[in-house]
């Protein structure tokens, strides 16, 4: 079970389910881009995931707010108001 007050920064797997009672779930992931030059053009990125129980589609958003991976939780995440003002990608399950 995933707890909204628990930090999962050291988890080796990430789980989420878009079929909750309120039908809104969030997973926050950060990618280490330190090997890239600040001015390096990025023409595409690949996010690979495994679906173990197909269901509703999900969305992926760019998140432009600061947060600390070692202590952020669902309850402490600095979320903007809906709808999210960041670019979106559809994730089909």
pTM equals 0.54
pLDDT at residue 14, rounded to an integer: 73
CA distance linking residue 90 with residue 93, whole number of Å:
10
3-state SS, residue 91: strand
Sign of the dihedral defined by the CA atoms of residues 17, 21, 24, 29, in that order = negative
pLDDT at residue 38, rounded to an integer: 85
How does pLDDT run across 16-53, given as a tens digit for each residue? 665 555 555 667 777 778 888 888 888 887 877 777 77
- Across the chain, mean pLDDT equals 74
At 1, is the pLDDT very low, low, confident or very high (cuts 50, 70, 90)? low
Are 28 and 72 in contact, with CB atoms under 8 Å apart?
yes
Report in angstroms the alpha-carbon separations of 25 from 9, 37, 39, 79, 88. 17, 33, 33, 12, 15
């Amino acid at each position: 079970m995933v707890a909204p007050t628990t930090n999962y920064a050291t988890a080796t797997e990430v789980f989420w389910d878009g079929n909750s009672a309120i039908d809104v779930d969030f997973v926050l992931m950060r990618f280490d881009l330190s090997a890239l030059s600040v001015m390096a053009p990025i023409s595409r990125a690949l996010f690979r995931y495994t679906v173990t129980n197909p269901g509703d589609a999900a969305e992926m958003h760019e998140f432009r707010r600061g947060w600390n991976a070692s202590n952020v939780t669902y309850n402490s995440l600095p979320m903007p108001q809906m709808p999210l003002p960041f670019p979106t990608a559809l994730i089909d399950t």
